[in-house]
A and B are shown apart, each in its own frame.
Chain A
C-alpha cells in the first residue's frame, strides 16, 4: 500500500538488492525466533537423545547404542512413576489455586487505591526475593511446630508451592492489567451489565491469555521445584526430588524417558491446539 509520500521519493537503489533486503528484513525476525527456540530446545534434544541410549554400565554419559528398551520399560526404576504422578498432581492443583488467588490479588492491587496497597505490593514481592533454601527451611519450622494440623507430605508440599508461585502469578497478571483498556468494561456497563457480568463476559476473557501464561509459568515452577519441596515433603517424593537423589549416583535413561515424554505430550497438545484452531478457522471461512 503506497502512500503519496512514498511515490514522491526517488528509487535510488537497484530493485533486486532492495527486494533482497526487504526479504531479509521480513524474515529476519522469524529466523531469529527460530534460532532462539533452537537454543532453548538444545538441552532437551540432548535429553531426548540420551533416552534412547543403551548404556553399558550405570552411567548414561556416553553414547553406546540405540534402544527402545528404556521407553518400553520406563517405570522399571523404583519410585519413578510415583514421583512423576505426585509432581503432576501437585503441579496442577497448586497452579490452579495460585492462579485464582494471584489473579484476585492482581486485580485488587492494580485497580483500587486503598490503605495497605504499598504494603501488599511489598508482601507479594518478598517470597520471590527470599532464597529458596530459606523459604523451605523456615516453612518446615512452621510445620514442625504445628504437627497437629500439618503433617509433612502431599499437602505441605501443596501449601509451599502455592505460597511461592502466587507472587509470580500476581506480577505476570499485573503486567496485563496495567495496560488494560477500561473503556470496554465501561461500554459494557453502559449497556446495562452489572459489575459481575462485566467481569465474567468482558474482563475475564480478555485476561485469560495472561492468566494462562501466568499459570504456565506457575506450573513450570511447581514441576521443577527441588529445594522447597525437599524440606517440606517428609517422605513423599516429587520428580525433581527423585532425580536429585538418583543423580547422586547416576541418572538412569528412564528418567530421560519420563522428562522427554512430558515434554512431547505437552508439545503434542499444543500442536493439537494449533490444528484445532486452524480447522475451526477454516470452518468459519467455509461457512461464510
Chain B
C-alpha cells in the first residue's frame, strides 16, 4: 500500500479529502443550494416563487444591521473571555497535570453531557436575583440594592462564554500538548526567565491552537440564539434570534435564508481579515 501512495503522490491529497468532502458536498452544499434558491424567492408561505429577489439581501441587511453588529460584539467578547480563562487552565493541564490530564480534559467537556437547556436552567438557579451569588455581589456593592445578573448583557455574554469554553480549550490543549518541554528547558538554560520563556517559546508555538480555538468559538457564537433567548431581554437579541423568528414565527423563509447567507458571508469576511492579520500560514498550515 505504501508504494501505491508513493507512485500516485499527486492523488494522495484528493484521496484523503474525498470521503469528507463528499459528505459535506452532499449533506451541506446541496442543502445550501436549496437555501440559496430560497433566499432569492419572494411571496407568502407556502407559495414562494423564484424571482431573483436580491432585495431580500439588501432589505435584511439594512433592517437587521444592529443585530449583526451586536452578535459579532458579543461573540468577540466571549471569545476573548474564553481565551483568557482557558489558556492558563490548559497550560496547567498540558504541563503540570501529569497523569491527571485526561481527567481534567473531561472536566472541560463534561458540561456538554448535561445538555444545553439543563445547564442554562442551572445557571438560572445559581444567578437568581435572590440567590447567593447576587446576594454576595449586592453585599460588596458591585451591584445595586435591586441589581440583577440575569436578563442582562452580562448574563448573555457569560452564557456564551461558558457554553463555548470547550471549543477554545480543546484546540489550545492540542497545540500546547505537543510542545516539547525540553525547548523550555533550553530557553531557561539560555538565561530566559519564566516569563520570557513563555512569551518567546510557548506562546508562539501555541499560536495555531489559539487561532483554531478563536475560530471554533467565535464562529458558532455569532450565530447563537439560545443564550440571548433565555438569559437576555429583547435588547440583547442576536442575529440568530432573528433568523429563528423569521423561520418559525413569520414563516418568511426567503428572509431567513438571506439572513443566513449574510451571516455566513460576514463571518467569512471576518475570517479573511483575521487570516491576513495572523498570517495565512497559521490558519491553513
Contacts and interface: CB of A to CB of B under 8 A. Distances in A.
User: Do A's and B's CB atoms come within 8 Å in the complex?
Assistant: yes
Interface of A: 3, 5, 29-30, 32-33, 36-37, 39-44, 46-47, 61, 101-102, 104-105, 107-112, 114, 117-118, 120-135, 137-139, 141-142, 159-160, 162-163, 166, 168, 170-180, 194-197, 206, 209-210, 213-214, 216-217, 220-221, 223-224, 226, 239-240, 243-244, 247, 251, 255-256, 259-260, 262-263, 266-267, 270-271, 273-274, 277-278, 281
A162 B191 contact: no
Nearest to A220: B112
Contact of A223 (B102, B113, B257): B113
B116 A196 contact: no
Interface string B132-169: 00000000000000000000000000000010011100
Nearest to B30: A142
B3 to A, nearest CB: 7
Given A36-B85, A127-B28, A256-B118, A266 B113 contact: yes
Contacts of B285: 109-111, 174, 177-178
Given A127-B24, A129-B263, A196-B1, A267 B106 contact: yes
Contacts of B178: 176, 179-180, 206, 209-210
Contacts of B211: 175
B284 interface: yes
A176 B174 contact: yes
A62 to B, nearest CB: 10
Interface string B48-61: 00000000000000
B115 A216 contact: no
A121 B284 contact: yes
Given A44-B110, A176-B175, A29 B34 contact: no
Instruction: Report, nearest first, the 6 A-B pairs whose CB atoms are least far apart.
Output: A194-B2, A220-B112, A108-B16, A138-B31, A43-B122, A112-B13
B273 interface: no
Given A162-B23, A179-B175, A196-B5, A138 B115 contact: no
Contacts of A30: 92, 96
A130 B19 contact: no
B117 A194 contact: no
A108 B17 contact: yes
A213 B105 contact: yes
Nearest to B115: A240
B186 interface: no
A104 B16 contact: yes
A186 B164 CA distance: 38
B210 to A, nearest CB: 9
Interface size class of B (residues with CB under 8 A): 35 or more
Given A107-B16, A177-B285, A281-B99, 12 more contacts: A33-B104, A36-B88, A40-B165, A104-B20, A108-B17, A114-B14, A128-B215, A139-B28, A175-B211, A210-B178, A214-B174, A223-B112
Contact of B171 (A125, A171, A180, A273): A171
Nearest to A174: B285
B184 interface: no
Contacts of B86: 36
Nearest to A32: B88
B114 interface: yes
A286 B61 CA distance: 69
Nearest to A122: B268
Contact of B268 (A129, A159, A160): A129
Contacts of A131: 223, 225, 239-240, 243-244, 260, 263
A279 to B, nearest CB: 10
A134 B5 CA distance: 39
Given A41-B107, A121-B284, A108 B35 contact: no
A108 B213 CA distance: 20
B174 A210 contact: yes
Interface in B158-200: 162, 165-167, 170-171, 173-175, 177-179, 189, 191
Nearest to B19: A101
Contacts of A109: 13, 17, 284-285
Interface in B61-112: 85-86, 88-89, 91-93, 96-97, 99-100, 102-112
B116 A240 contact: yes
